[in-house]
Every structure is written in C-alpha cells, then in structure tokens.
Structure 1
C-alpha cells in the first residue's frame, strides 16, 4: 500500500539516505507491467534507509493499483501532476520533495540490481568531493542496440572533456546517484529541452565537481515498442547544448579549448542542418 500522499505526509523521524525519484507515465497495460518490475527492483535494494518518490505525470491509465501490488516497498509517496509536464519537470518535482541527501533516478521501465544503491552510496562515501556516481548499464529489450560507448574504457573519474567528446550515451538517468544539493545548485533539470536534459545536468555537475564511475553493471535500461516518445526539437536542443558547451569553452584552459574545437564545429554544423530542415518543412506546409 502507498504509505501516504503529499497532502497527508506524516513526520519522518529517520531521514532516508537515498530518495528514489520515479517519474511515471503509464499509457498502456504494458507500461503498468514494466512499472511493477521497476518498483520490485527498488524494493529489493540491500540498502534499506531509502524512500520512494513516485511522480505520476498525468498518466492516461491510473498507476495506483500497479504500485500497490508491489510488496515490501520502502516508505513511498505518490505525487500527481494535474497536467502532463514531461520527464524533466517530473524529476524536478520529485527532487524538491525528496527527504534524502542523495537522489537516485529510476525511470518507470528500467531495472536495478539489488546492490545498486548500496555500492553507489559507498562509492560516494569514499569520494566525498564527488557530486555524483554512476554505474554501467545493460540495455535490455526485444532487440536492444549496442552501447555507443565501451563502458570498459570509461575512466574512474571522467574529465569534462572526455565526457563531452563521448556524447550523450555515457550516463543514463537510472544509473546515476547524485547529491541533492548539487542538483539544486545547478538549477535542477532544464525543462527547455525536449531531450537530453539529463546530459545537460551531468555537464553542469562536471563543470563544478568530480563525478565517479563505478565499473559494475548495476542497472538495466529497457528499450521496447511502448517507450514513451517525446517530441524532439533538435534545433532547440542543439542551441541550448551548444551554448552550455561554449560557456565552459570560453573560460577553459587552452588544452581543453583545442580538444573541444571539433565538437563545437560539429554542433554548429548540426545547427545549420536542423535550421535548413526546419525551413524546408515550413515551406512544404505552406
């Protein structure tokens, strides 16, 4: 059963170490099934001082029965958006409501191995200067693609240049454990993006603090035919991301500037391509 709603939240005497933020958008029965498996993987965590903050993003099908069917859930809150706000703002709502000092993100169709949180909490304890820890992931589904990045080659503490030059496939949200204060300090997830808002957040964190890579496969990222497809505005996202990279580049050491020049050239070339494509679509619709 759900322990309480946001309206009648009881006093929590023991502050949880980790708050698990789960943005939910259930539009099919398959989604509900994935959600149950996701929550079961959260309930099976060996780290017990945790809470679950589920943010229902105005799902077309009510997820409550699916949530209540999962046994041995930790202390759980269900927050409901009255309108669909998207995954970025739903995560932000969960972060603001979280009681824990550490935030773990778990998308509603992904899975964790039982020791995921315990291993990551230990890694951050061993690296007190780091703002975030992320683990390796396995991509699952009926026909999962190969990862774009060989996870065996990821440094223990990737630099911002390494991270930027390896693209938006190194860290999935469900693999990350982040200090809540770091998320607040960067302004949470940027809701102006239509995609890659998490990539934006990881870059902003790396611009200020180290992050730690835990070279263990402790999360599973699910690809399936019922994945929610958000409408992606590639030109908008390119502009936002390029401006962020430029803000780092302008003050970066010369070695970093040189290393990032090819990336910036590709970003500006992509912007030109997306702009031409948009103009072409606009003309065809007239």
Structure 2
C-alpha cells in the first residue's frame, strides 16, 4: 500500500499538460506514492508506463466529483492534490511529510506556489495553526500545494459537489474548523494560471452560493472584503453592457452590507 495517494482530475484535450504534471510527481524525492488520474474520456491512454499510475474514467460531473472519486478509491495514508496544468517541485512530498510526522494533530499541510505567468509567489507569508478565521477572509491555500491525512476525508467527507466556484476554499474551511493546519515556508508547486470560467455571470452566482454558506461565520471585515469580490464581478457586467444584471448584483451586495451604493 502506497503512503501517499496523488489525485489528478483531467479532461480530454489536456494530455500534454497532464503528462507534465505526472512527470513532476514521478520526479519526487519521496517515491512511495500512487497516482490516481480521474478523467472524463476513454479514447486515449497515457504514454507513460508506471505501475503506480491508475487511470479512472468518470463522466464529467465537475472537479469536486472527480477529486472525491479519487479519494474514495485511494489507498494511501495521505492524500495530495494536483491540478493537471500545475507541477510540483521535486522535494514537495518529502518536506510536507516531515511536518506530518512531527505533528500528529495536523490535518492539512500546504506550501507556497509560484505563478508561471507573472512569477508572483503566493502566499507571501505562511499562516499556521488554527487558521479558520484567516481563511474566512482569504483563500491563501493553493490546491496543488495541499496534502491531507486520509482520516480527514473519512471524518468530514470530500469536496462539496454543489459548489462550482470556491469548492477548494470551502474544503479548507471545513478542514480548518476541526484540524490544525501547517505549511512549508518554501515554493512547492508551480501554478499555471486561473481556470475560472469567462462567464462572469456564472462566477458571480457561484461566489454567491459560496458566500451564502460561509457569510454568517465571517466577521464584519471578512464580510466586507468578500462582498467586494462580488461587487467587482457586478462591475464587469457594466462594462459588458449588462446594466440590468449590474443593478441586480449591486442590490444583492447592498443587502449583504446593510448599506446603499
């Protein structure tokens, strides 16, 4: 049985990205892992041969369902997430597993990641411990930097499949409500760029659904900060000429803030 299960969801047409991601796992200094690829196609198979690679077909129901499918069949003591267009640095698993071994109460370990396009390093500072309140203000945890204990999944379940925006943020919040979070103070992953839908209306509704779930637990500052994210998307509609929806969105935001624009 492998120590770490690496979950990679992917789509048809992204095979060149997927291969790059897998190679970054195969090049890890820590080698006791299995790779579970959850894909929405049967047409082609990888041209990589390694007994640790397991390809699983699933009709596309969203990235949360794909990750949950991978976690359900995983055999490792730890579960790590990697998006198909991101890559890991070689010592990622080794450095993060050291933290788990030192701290048995830790449920999640993350690290810094570097944006492939602009070179920005996120987060600038690693936040550790009881990070729930910090996470309510901002999602500073990159999915492809995360590794969790399998028991976390067994305890709180998987990603919320009803969310199509903020599903990763939601999961880290749920984990941090019950577990200690630690981080590696170095870059462990290279991030290719945002994959948010260009359908800004869809993004607005998705963020609204996420906000409906967590807004009551946010303090006032966090409520304002996250509501301003919605305001930003409502302004996008204005520039695209969707004045009607802009007015609706801003009214919705004002209700949240208890104020008027």
Q: TM-score range by the shorter chain?
A: 0.7 to 0.9
| Paired residues for 1:63-74 under 5 Å | 63-64=44-45, 67=46, 69-70=47-48, 73=50
**1:80 Cα shift?**
0.3
The CA deviation string for residues 119-178 of structure 1, in whole angstroms up to 9 with x for no partner, is: 1111111111010000111111xx33735x552x2234362222222x13x111110001
Number of aligned positions between the proteins = 240
Secondary structure, in 3 states, of the residue corresponding to 2:127?
coil
2:258 is matched with: none
From 120, 130, 133, the equivalent of 1:146 is 120
TM-score, normalised with respect to structure 2? 0.80
Distance change >3 Å, CA 270–CA 222, structure 1 → 2: closer
Q: In the alignment, which residue of structure 1 is the partner of 2:250?
A: none
Name the Cα RMSD after superposition.
Answer: 2.8
Question: What are the within-5 Å matches in structure 2 for residues 1-150 of structure 1?
Answer: 15-27=1-13, 31-58=14-41, 62-64=43-45, 67=46, 69-70=47-48, 73=50, 75-81=52-58, 83-140=59-116, 143-144=117-118, 146=120, 149-150=122-123
- Which residues of structure 1 form unaligned runs of 5+? 1-14, 250-259
User: Counterpart of 2:244?
Assistant: 280
Tell me: CA distance 1:244–1:74, structure 2 relative to 1, closer, same or farther (3 Å). Answer: farther
- Structure 2 gap ranges (5+): 248-261
The within-5 A match list for 1:157-196 is 157=129, 159-165=131-137, 167-168=138-139, 170-196=140-166
User: Does the residue aligned with 2:192 lie in a helix, a strand or coil?
Assistant: strand
Q: From the superposition, tell whether residues 20 and 230 of structure 1 become closer, same or farther in structure 2 (CA, over 3 Å).
A: farther
SS in structure 2 of the partner of residue 223 of structure 1:
coil
